[in-house]
Each structure stands twice: as structure tokens, then as C-alpha cells.
């Protein structure tokens, strides 16, 4: 499912309440440094680096201002201004500038709302992206596996430069300023068995969480159609079982089944 607009909603979300989405990605295709086997946007069409049509800063600014004034006129509340959409928001060349705009709009119109970013964290090595994330209330950073092999099987990075070691080091550096988001699943893809809840992988994942020390962890399961069909949705009881193992290490967890 692809989002067809720059500004989306607000949509009611269990995690975020009334969430006004900001999609800085192309409107007709996914653009991401990962190609997760469960991605709700489907597979990447072309390799990263090919020309993509991203919305301009001016279009984002104009549409966000217009939508917020409509919502204010209708008396609609917003709990979260949320960077999400058809891929990885931090790939937009003006991402830091858009963050400043959204902070300004939030402060002016919805001072009690939080600003949320759903990101795969592959761009955290770039100082300007790291700095921009520091300005957000809810930077939600993806970590789906405890080992490089399982991360590569699940998230399918589009280039070798998105190394697992660098990702982990950046997550550790970001520490308790970030929320870690993890989708738990089992299945097969490309003839390989996939499971980030095997004793081996989940054990390594918990070790990484202890090094990162996140604000908290969001655990969730597959919710919508996935590009790889041979994937199993974990039950809420299973998510709670794994959440408890993380809580046993003193790390807070929220479960979204």
C-alpha cells in the first residue's frame, strides 16, 4: 500500500493517537535503503541511487500549513506530527529543514503534540541527520534482529555500506534518546528460514538492547499484506512472552499485536 499524498490524515493510531502524517517520499513508489520482506509498501522498484521524484520543501511547507489551518478551523486535535510514508524519510535532501519547519508549526498550532519519526536508522551516521533526530520527541528507530545475518535476511539493505556494525554503533550512540521498534516474525524468504525469535537471534538482540539502553522498545507483529507471503504473524501472547524477556533486563516494552 502506497500513500498518495504528502500530508496524510490525521489517522487514529493505537501507538500515536490522532496522527498527522508527513510523507517526504515519492507518491507512486517506495524509496528506501532497506527492502524489508514485510514492508507494507511492497518491494523497492529500482535500486537506490536512481532518480526519484521527491516532494519539494516548498510543496511540503505549503501543504502542511494548509492542512493544519483546515484542521484548526474544524477543531480537530492532533496528538502527533509523524514522519512516515513510502520509504525512509531521512533520505529527503531537505529533511533537517523540514524538521525545523514541523517543530515551528507544532509549537505554534499544537504545542502539546509530539513529533514522531519512523526511521530505519541507516542515515544516523550523517551528522545533519543525527542532529535533526535530536530535535524530535519520538525518534522511533528500527532494529529487527540481533545478528547481521538475520538483519540482512529480514531488512535486505540495498547497499553494503548500510552495515550492521555501523547501525548498532549509531543506535548505541543515540542511546536513551531513541525508541527501538522491532517487528517479530517467522517464515521463509528466498529459500531461507527467517526467525528473529530463535533462541540464538533473540538472545543476541537482547544483548544489543542492553548496550543501546533505549527509552523503550515497541514490539509489534505483521498487520497488513506483506510482499513476502510466507511470513507468520505472531500472536499477542507470543509478543508478550518476548516482551517479558526484555523487561527482565530492566528495559521498558510496549506491545502492539
Positions touching ligand SF4 (CB under 6 A) are 32, 34-36, 39, 41, 87-88, 120, 142
Dihedral in degrees, nearest 10, Cα atoms 257, 194, 37, 130: 80
Buried b / exposed e across 160-179, counting CB within 10 Å, b at 16+?
eebbbeebbebbeebeeebb
CB of 243 to ligand SF4, least distance (A): 21
C-alpha cell, 101: 519547519
Contacts of 178 (CB under 8 A, 6+ apart): 133, 139, 140, 141, 171, 212, 214, 215
CA diameter of the chain: 54
Residue placing its CB nearer to ligand SF4 in the complex, 31 or 242: 31
Nearer to ligand SF4, 79 or 228 (CB): 228
157 sits in the region (left: phi over 0; alpha: psi -120 to 50; else beta) called: beta
**Closer by beta carbon to ligand SF4, 80 or else 155:** 155
Torsion of CA 141, 144, 149, 150, to 10 degrees: -170
Q: How far is the CB of 242 from ligand SF4 (least distance, A)?
A: 19
Min dist. Cβ of residue 123 to ligand SF4 (A): 11
Q: What is the DSSP letter of 234?
A: P
CB of 126 to ligand SF4, least distance (A): 16
Question: Residue 41 or 194: which CB sits closer to ligand SF4?
Answer: 41
Burial (CB count within 10 angstroms: exposed 0-12, middle 13-18, buried 19+), residue 225: exposed
Phi, psi (degrees; rounded to nearest 5) at 36: -55, 140
What is the nearest approach in angstroms of ligand SF4 to the Cβ of residue 118? 7
Mapped onto helix, strand or coil, the DSSP state of residue 200 is helix
Q: How far is the CB of 17 from ligand SF4 (least distance, A)?
A: 21
Between 36 and 78, name the residue whose CB sits nearer to ligand SF4: 36
**Measured from the CB atom, is 41 or 208 closer to ligand SF4?**
41
Least distance (Å) between residue 239 CB and ligand SF4: 18
Kindly tell me which of 88 and 238 has the beta carbon lying closer to ligand SF4. Answer: 88
Assigned C-alpha cell, 210: 542492553
How far apart are the C-alpha atoms of 207 and 183, rounded to whole Å? Answer: 17
Amino acid at each position: 500500500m502506497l500513500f498518495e499524498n504528502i500530508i496524510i490524515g490525521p489517522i487514529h493510531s493505537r501507538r500515536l493517537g490522532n496522527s498527522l502524517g508527513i510523507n517526504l517520499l515519492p507518491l507512486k513508489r517506495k524509496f528506501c535503503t532497506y527492502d524489508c520482506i514485510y514492508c507494507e509498501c511492497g518491494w523497492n522498484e529500482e535500486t537506490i541511487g536512481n532518480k526519484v521524484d521527491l516532494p519539494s520543501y516548498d510543496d511540503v511547507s505549503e501543504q502542511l500549513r494548509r492542512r493544519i489551518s483546515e484542521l484548526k478551523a474544524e477543531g480537530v486535535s492532533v496528538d502527533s506530527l509523524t514522519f512516515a510514508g513510502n520509504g525512509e524519510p531521512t533520505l529527503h535532501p531537505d529533511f533537517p529543514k523540514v524538521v525545523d519547519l514541523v517543530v515551528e508549526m507544532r509549537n505554534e498550532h499544537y504545542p502539546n503534540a509530539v513529533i514522531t519519526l519512523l526511521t530505519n536508522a541507516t542515515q544516523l551516521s550523517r551528522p545533519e541527520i543525527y542532529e535533526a533526530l535530536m530535535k524530535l520527541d519520538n525518534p522511533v528507530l528500527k532494529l529487527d534482529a540481533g545478528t547481521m545475518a538475520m538483519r540482512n535476511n529480514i531488512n535486505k539493505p540495498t547497499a553494503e555500506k548500510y552495515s550492521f556494525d555501523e547501525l548498532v554503533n549509531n543506535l548505541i550512540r543515540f542511546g536513551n534518546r531513541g525508541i527501538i521498534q522491532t517487528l517479530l516474525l517467522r517464515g521463509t524468504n528466498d529459500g531461507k528460514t527467517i526467525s528473529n525469535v530463535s533462541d540464538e537471534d533473540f538472545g543476541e538482540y537482547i544483548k544489543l538492547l542492553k548496550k543501546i539502553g533505549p527509552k523503550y522498545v515497541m514490539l509489534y507483529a505483521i498487520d497488513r499484506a506483506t510482499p513476502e507471503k510466507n511470513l507468520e504473524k505472531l500472536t499477542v501472547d507470543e509478543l508478550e512472552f518476548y516482551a517479558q524477556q526484555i523487561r527482565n533486563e530492566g528495559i521498558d516494552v510496549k506491545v502492539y499485536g
